[in-house]
């Protein structure tokens, strides 16, 4: 499902609520000046709250910033084994562990 969403969220087998949020996030990520009230309203009409929309846009913006910074400065990505280890730690104890 993740691959399908990354390929094209508009045709992926996901519910309309998720599709609406992914559409909004795609607009905000591509060109935030193109986000219109109608885009926000479309996501809200499927059940997303203002807080959830804010959080989704914030997370995507921060990832975009970090990826841009990492690419421009040459900071290396973690090896796959480190992500696996980190994922297990987070699953077991959350972010506070």
Nearest to 21 by CA among 55, 72, 65: 55
Q: What is the pTM of this model?
A: 0.74
86's enclosing H/E stretch is helix 80-93
DSSP state of 33: G
Positions in the chain short of pLDDT 50: none
Nearest to 30 by CA among 54, 53, 64: 64
Domains and CATH numbers, the chain: 2-93 (1.20.1290.10)
Query: Tell me: the pLDDT tens digits for 62-87?
Result: 999 999 999 999 998 889 999 999 99
Phi, psi of 7 (to 5 degrees): -70, -50
Between the CA atoms of 54, 56, 60 and 62, what dihedral angle is there, to the nearest 10 degrees? 50
């Amino acid at each position: 499902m993740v691959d399908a969403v990354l390929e094209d969220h508009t045709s992926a087998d996901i519910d309309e609520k998720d599709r609406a949020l992914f559409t909004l996030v795609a607009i905000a990520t591509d060109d935030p000046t193109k986000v219109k009230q109608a885009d926000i309203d479309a996501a809200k009409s499927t059940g997303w709250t203002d807080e959830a929309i804010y959080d989704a846009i914030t997370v995507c913006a921060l990832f975009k910033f970090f990826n841009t910074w990492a690419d421009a400065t040459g900071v290396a990505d973690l090896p796959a084994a480190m992500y696996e280890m980190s994922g297990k730690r987070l699953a077991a104890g959350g972010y506070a562990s």
